[in-house]
Structure 1
Amino acid sequence: MVREYKRKTDRGTFCREDMQAAVDDVINKEVSLRKAASEHNVNYKTLSRYVEMKIKTDIPENHSFGYQKTRQVFTEEVENELVDYLIAASKIFHGLTMEELRELAYELAEANKITMPDSWAMNKKAGIEWARGFVGRHGADISLRSPEATSLQRMSSFNKHNVNMFYDNLGEVMKKGFTPDNIWNIDETGVATVQAPTKQIAKKGERRVGAVVAQERGTLDDSLLWHQCFWEPYSSVFYIP
C-alpha cells in the first residue's frame, strides 16, 4: 500500500464546475462532445463518461463531479474529539502510544457500531496505516513525541503550595549573604531513577511532554529519595555548609 502517493502528471484532473457546464451543454444544448470539451477545457473521453453516467443514472443537479474523498472510518467530528482526548491525556502525563491509539480506535468503533475494516475486528485494533494517516491528518495539532520520564513523587510534589514554600525558604537563606562558593547544585542529573517511556502522541509545539512512571528503577537511599520527592521538581539550588 502506497502511504503517501504523489501525482506525477495532471492527467485526469479537471474543474468540477467546467465539467458540470460541459455535461449540461451536451445534454441540454445538444453540443457535440469534442466542441463542449474544447470550450470548457476538459477531456472529451472523460466528458463522454460523465454524460453517459448522467443519462443512465439520472445524476442529481447538486452532484459533485470528480473524484470523491476516500471514505474514513470516523467522521471529522469524531476524529476531532479523539484529538482533544489525546491532548488532554498527554497533559496529565498519560499520553497514548501509537499502539494504544490503535486499540482505542477499535474500541471506539466497536462501541459505537461504526463500520470498520475486517482487519480491525481480526486484530482487535486499528491498522498502523490508519494510525499514521490519523496523525498526519491532524499534524497541525498533534505529533509523536519522546516524553520526559516523570515519577509519581514529582507529580505529587510539584504544586503551588510546595513551590511557594521553596521560594520563601530560598529567599530567607539567600538573605544570610552566602558567597557563590558555598552554593551547590545537587540535583541528580545524569542518574537514571526511572525507566525511559516510549514515544507518545502529544500536542504539537508543546515545550515539555511528560509521561508518568509508576515504579522507580532500583532503590535509592533515604537522603536521595527525600531529595527527589521534594527538591527535584524545582531544579533546586540551595546552600550546603
Structure 2
Amino acid sequence: MPRKRDRITEKCQWSLDALDHAIKRVNDDGISLHKASQEFNIPYSTLQKRYRKPEQSNPRLGRKPVFSLAQERILADHLIHMTNLFFGLDSMKFRKIAYECAEKLKIPHNFNKKSKCAGPDWLEGFLKRNTNISVRKPESTSINRIEGFNKEEVELFYKNLEEIMMKNKYEPHQIFHMDETGVSTIQEPG
C-alpha cells in the first residue's frame, strides 16, 4: 500500500461543503469573495479560482497519476484480457508493462529507469483506483483445461450429461465427482 505520509502542509484544510456554501453565498447573497473567504476560512485565491472555474471544484493534493483514467482503463483491461487467456501477470511483470507503456507513449514518469519498471507504490495506487482487478502470482493451468474450456465443449458436456442423467435416472446420492490423476499436463506460467 502506498505509504501513509504525515501531513506537513496547511493546504486544503477546508471541505468541499464549505467551498460550495461560500460560492452560494457569493452568488445568492452577493457578498464579496474576500468576505466569503474569511467567513468560511478558505484562502481567497482558492475561492476565486473555484468561483471562476467551477468544473475544477474537486481539488487534489499530491502527485498526479502517470496515466490518464482512459490509459489506466486500457492497462486494467489488458490485465483482465491476459487472465482470460490463462496467462495471468504477476505484479513485477505488470509493473514492467506499465513502464514500457509510459516509455512508448512518451509520458513523463518517475519510474525506475535502471530496473525498467514502475514502483510498488504506483502499483498500489493503481489497484486502489481500479478496484475490480487484483494482481497476484498466476496459478498453473492444465493445457487440456485451456483447450477444452470453450463454449462448444462446455455445451457438448452438458448435453451429454443431461442425456445420461435422463437415460439412467440417477438419484443425487449416486453422483460422484472424479478427477484424472497421475498424468501431469500442467503448464507453469512465466
**TM-score normalized by structure 1?**
0.53
Counterparts of 2:185 and 2:123 in 1: how far apart (Å)? 28
The one of 142, 147, 167 equivalent to 1:151 is 142
Matched, 1:16 2:7: no
Matched, 1:93 2:96: no
Matched letter for residue 85 of structure 1 = H
Aligned partner of 1:112 in structure 2 is 105
Residue deviations 1:70-95, cap 9 Å, x none?
Answer: 31101111111111111122112112
Which of structures 1 and 2 has the bigger CA Rg? 1
Counterparts of 2:57 and 2:139 in 1: how far apart (Å)? 49
Give the paired residue count.
174
Residue deviations 1:181-206, cap 9 Å, x none?
Answer: 997654147x79477xxxxxxxxxxx
Q: Which has the higher strand share?
A: 1
Matched, 1:187 2:190: no
Please provide the CA RMSD for this pair. Answer: 4.5
Per-residue deviation, 1:173:
8.8
The 5-angstrom pairing of residues 145-224 of structure 1 reads: 148-163=139-154, 164=156, 167-168=159-160, 171=163, 175=167, 185-188=177-180, 193=184, 213-214=187-188
Counterparts of 2:184 and 2:32 in 1: how far apart (Å)? 72
Counterparts of 1:152 and 1:160 in 2: how far apart (Å)? 16
Q: Which has the higher helix share?
A: 2
**TM-score normalized by structure 2?**
0.65
Aligned partner of 1:3 in structure 2 is 3
Identical aligned pairs, as a percentage? 27
- Per the alignment, do residues 102 and 42 of structure 1 end up closer, same or farther by CA in structure 2, a change over 3 Å counting? same
- The 8 Å contact of residues 16 and 66 in structure 1, kept in 2 or not, is answered as no
Aligned partner of 1:75 in structure 2 is 68
- Per the alignment, do residues 23 and 109 of structure 1 end up closer, same or farther by CA in structure 2, a change over 3 Å counting? farther
What secondary structure sits across from 2:134 in the alignment?
Answer: strand
Aligned partner of 2:52 in structure 1 is 61
Aligned partner of 2:126 in structure 1 is 134
Q: Unpaired segments of 5 or more residues in structure 1? A: 196-212, 216-241
